[in-house]
Amino acid sequence: MGNNIRNTLLAIVAIGLLGACNSTGKLTRRYKSIKYATSGKMDSLIKVSGYAVTGDAVEQAKPKSIFDLNAEAQAELIKQIGIKETDNAKFVSALSSSLSPKSTGGIDVLDLTRFQKRIVISVKKLKHHPADRINMIDVTLSLPEGTKLLSCNRLMTEYQTLEFGKLNYSNTASASLTGNAGSGFSSVLTNGGSTNRTLVDADGNAFKNEGTGSTGTNTFSNTSVNGSTNGLSSTTTGSLGLTATGTGSRTFAEEVMLRQRIVGLQASISKNDLNLFQNGGLGIDLSGNIIADIVFEIKESPNTERIISFTDLLDIAGKANPADKLKIKDFILIYPGLIKDVEADLKFNGEYRWVKDGDRTISESDDVVSLISGNGFTEDKVNLIPANILKPKMWTISIPVKGGELPLEISLPTVGSSGKIIFNSATEARNFIAWLKASYTTIPESKTLGTSGHVLVLPAGATLNKSSLDGLKLNIY
């Protein structure tokens, strides 16, 4: 019997030592347990929608100067200009001039088929459980046929970061056993543990919590003031004359800062699809807005118009210049010929972190998690450009004739025919009307304007006189 008692005492000592020296992280775990699932109805967990607003104007290529070159190229340019230009004024002028190729004086093209839009993607969690969160979102914006996605210039996210403070956890454990073998036996088992779990705010002030457990022959107490202390004691006496003692101690501490936010956002373009991938981290819910600036072209059914621009209508004193002093520039305006809205499809793949248990605590280390992933589709399309704004506003000028009014025309030397005078600015059209009224008496019989061979063409039955010029009307083309 003595051997049995001795073995029992030694086993108790070993168990006490193992319990004292074993510590496991509590706060730094991502979850307590996890299961993976797939769903074909992610639309019931996550809602993704989008809309487009006008972005910044598409940047045009800027003229190059000496400051756009590297140091070696700048030195070589200065050397070459110094060889060519001996006059100081011309040397400085050459250094400050543009390096871009100069215009040949041909017809400029105004291409209005390229657009820049700001796409706002809204990601929303549909289940209102605080511990649940969207863990990953992968959104695809598909542009329609007839368009071409050129670039994604800028990505942004809009979130709010909340600072909860600092969460501390520490654990200290020890065990000891004394046995006295005589006519009976005596043993004392002590398993003392100190468990402190402290939640403090951002200023380091602790939240206070107190509680007391039950007492009995074998006693258990739990007192929590900025933490908790647990104790277990048991005493048995006898006399077998055997003494055994074992001790073990280990301290384990954790500290987690609960204010970190890291959001990974990536964009890629494949054919005509813009893919926006966003991955969260510990404690991060991806509900919020994703903002992307994109540039795309509409090349289906383009329309072209010949635009006329008049400059130097007035002299320095503000008086109307004679007809031969005008400067006239032809433009080719290209714009989309579509008669329907340009709309993009929106779909997504998401990962939803459903907390089935452990949702009462801020720390995620005690969460029992089900990670649900699957695809979703948004029925509402993203309207990139309404059809009614695809055609730019243009203006013509009409002059009274017998039985009505007809537009003024101008001969186009480069094509050998005449066409309507079309303005892409109402201000320019009004300025030309004002010039006609002020200087019609100086217009030669040939109706020649400027020095490029342009001729003002009046419709049949129209004449240039005060009465007809007072009847000039500005029309939207």
The domains of the chain are located at: 2-30+165-257, 33-56+112-154+261-286+339-382, 62-99, 303-336+393-476
Nearest to 199 by CA among 237, 254, 263: 254
**Among 57-66, 141-150, 167-176, which stretch is predicted with the lowest mean pLDDT?**
167-176
Question: Does position 239 have pLDDT exceeding 60, yes or no?
Answer: no
- Rg of the chain, C-alpha, whole Å: 41
What is d(CA 156, CA 289) in angstroms, rounded to the nearest whole number?
A: 8
What is d(CA 57, CA 378) in angstroms, rounded to the nearest whole number?
A: 29
Higher pLDDT, 189 or 88: 88
Q: Is 263 helix (H, G, I), strand (E, B) or coil?
A: coil
For residues 157-161, give the mean pLDDT: 53
Question: Does position 293 have pLDDT exceeding 50, yes or no?
Answer: yes
Element (H, E) at 191: strand 185-200
pLDDT tens sequence across 297-334? 988 778 888 899 999 998 888 888 999 889 998 888 88
Higher pLDDT, 15 or 110: 110
Question: Does position 109 have pLDDT exceeding 70, yes or no?
Answer: yes
Calculate what percentage of the chain has a pLDDT beyond 70.
64
For residues 85-93, give the mean pLDDT: 72
pLDDT winner (highest mean) among 177-191, 221-235, 263-277: 263-277
What is d(CA 433, CA 152) in angstroms, rounded to the nearest whole number?
A: 43
Nearest to 132 by CA among 349, 364, 350: 364
187: confidence class by pLDDT, cuts 50, 70, 90: very low
Q: Is 356 helix (H, G, I), strand (E, B) or coil?
A: strand
Q: Is 312 helix (H, G, I), strand (E, B) or coil?
A: coil
In the 8-state DSSP scheme, what is residue 126? -
For residues 129-154, give the mean pLDDT: 90
Count helices and strands in the chain by DSSP H and E runs: 5, 25
For residues 210-233, give the mean pLDDT: 37
Higher pLDDT, 55 or 37: 37
pLDDT of residue 403: 85
pLDDT of residue 461: 86
Question: Does position 377 have pLDDT exceeding 90, yes or no?
Answer: no
Question: Does position 409 have pLDDT exceeding 90, yes or no?
Answer: yes
Question: Does position 399 have pLDDT exceeding 80, yes or no?
Answer: yes
For residues 46-70, give the mean pLDDT: 68
Higher pLDDT, 23 or 226: 23
pLDDT of residue 230: 42
**Average pLDDT of the chain to the nearest whole number:** 74
Higher pLDDT, 235 or 476: 476
pLDDT of residue 206: 46
Higher pLDDT, 270 or 299: 270
